[in-house]
Amino acid sequence: MSIPQQFEGKLKLPCVAAPMFLVSGPDLVIETCKSGVVGTFPALNVRTTEGFEDWVIQIKQALADYENETGETAAPFGVNLISHRSNPRLAADLAVCVKHEVPLIITSLGAVASLVDDVHSYGGLVFHDVINLKFAKKAAAAGVDGLICVTAGAGGHAGTLSPFALIAEIRSFFDKTILLAGCLSKGHEIATAQMMGADLAYMGTRFIATKEAAAAAEYKEMILNAKAEDIVYTAKISGVNANFLLPSLTQAGIDLSKTPEKTEIDFGAELQVDEKEKAQGAWKHIWSAGQGVGSITDTPPVSQLIQNLHQEYCQAVSSQQERSKNYL
């Protein structure tokens, strides 16, 4: 098992806060990193590459100021790049990341060896989302530094495999960093991810219900009220199978039984919608979440959430050590 050298001494928890569409922004990333967890955001959360670069500069400056003022070390931050061929901004957004030496790039919907080389040129890391062994082997061949096992029940674009199966199969050929995504909301679940063979936990939905998340108040409230049975897995929304909050689909007037299957993914079309139309469009009201929503009961500041997660994590590790004494 392996945690990247670039992360050593910079994390208070073995955890990455996942990049979430229309939820993760500078405030969430900055507070997450200041609290010792890797904070990330999707480049496409900003409508233009110029705006994306402004966010990168803002985050870098805020974290540098924090370190200078407190003497503390902030966790690294990361950016999610959609590496699918239909994303017309990929080259320009990658150039921004290289220019500003973004510490971590998270790629999804395609592992690209040339992109990995570009990030490695300045010492950055590339983690890639995978839902099965086929995609994992392709990403490993492209030279990525970490594989994010997006297992059954994860929010957003998720797979259907058990984490026990996927981690074990990937670990048989991949000796770099493995992250586990899927229904992680508590500190003891971060410890469990490590016990299962992952190096880092990858936690998304829990960070939606925080003060700094850019999610609408109604979205956060729906998270608090939802249970696992309220999550629906479908490709009819984005063209890729993903988990969504069924009540949000209902509110948006979407009846999945009458919604046709999408046959292709097109991020270019998504980006061509202007701001006014976007605000009026369905994506403002279609909300994703993972099956771990049932254990989320509050919306604290990120700093308090991570403090709670750290306490739960330490208690779980200590408890497991105590329980295991009878079997050693």
Q: Which residues, 6 or more positions from 317, have their beta carbon under 8 angstroms from its beta carbon?
A: 191
pLDDT at 35: 98
Residues 184/176, Cβ–Cβ less than 8 Å: no
For domain 11-216+291-327, give the fold.
TIM Barrel (3.20.20)
pLDDT at 274: 47
Q: 149 φ, ψ to 5°?
A: -80, 100
pLDDT at 150: 97
pLDDT at 84: 85
pLDDT at 273: 44
pLDDT at 328: 85
pLDDT at 37: 98
pLDDT at 231: 97
pLDDT at 258: 77
Rounded average pLDDT per 10-residue block, the chain, 328 residues: 89 97 96 98 96 98 98 98 90 98 95 96 98 97 98 94 96 97 97 96 98 97 97 89 94 85 57 44 80 97 98 96 90
Residue 93 exposed, middle or buried by CB count within 10 Å (0-12, 13-18, 19+): buried
* Closest C-alpha among 144, 88, 150 to residue 119: 144
pTM of the model: 0.93
pLDDT at 102: 98
Residues 173/140, Cβ–Cβ less than 8 Å: yes
pLDDT at 282: 56
pLDDT at 238: 78
pLDDT at 255: 86
Give the DSSP H or E segment for 245.
strand 242-245
Tokens linked to 185: 């909301």
Kindly list the distances between the CA atom of residue 161 and the CA atoms of 47, 132, 177, 197, 288, in Å, as whole numbers in the listed order.
33, 7, 19, 15, 19
Asked whether the CA dihedral 190, 168, 183, 214 is positive or negative, the reply is: positive
pLDDT at 326: 87
pLDDT at 275: 45
CA distance 230 to 250: 11
pLDDT at 279: 39
pLDDT at 293: 97
* Count of beta carbons in the 10 Å neighbourhood of residue 212: 21
For the chain, the structural domain boundaries read 11-216+291-327
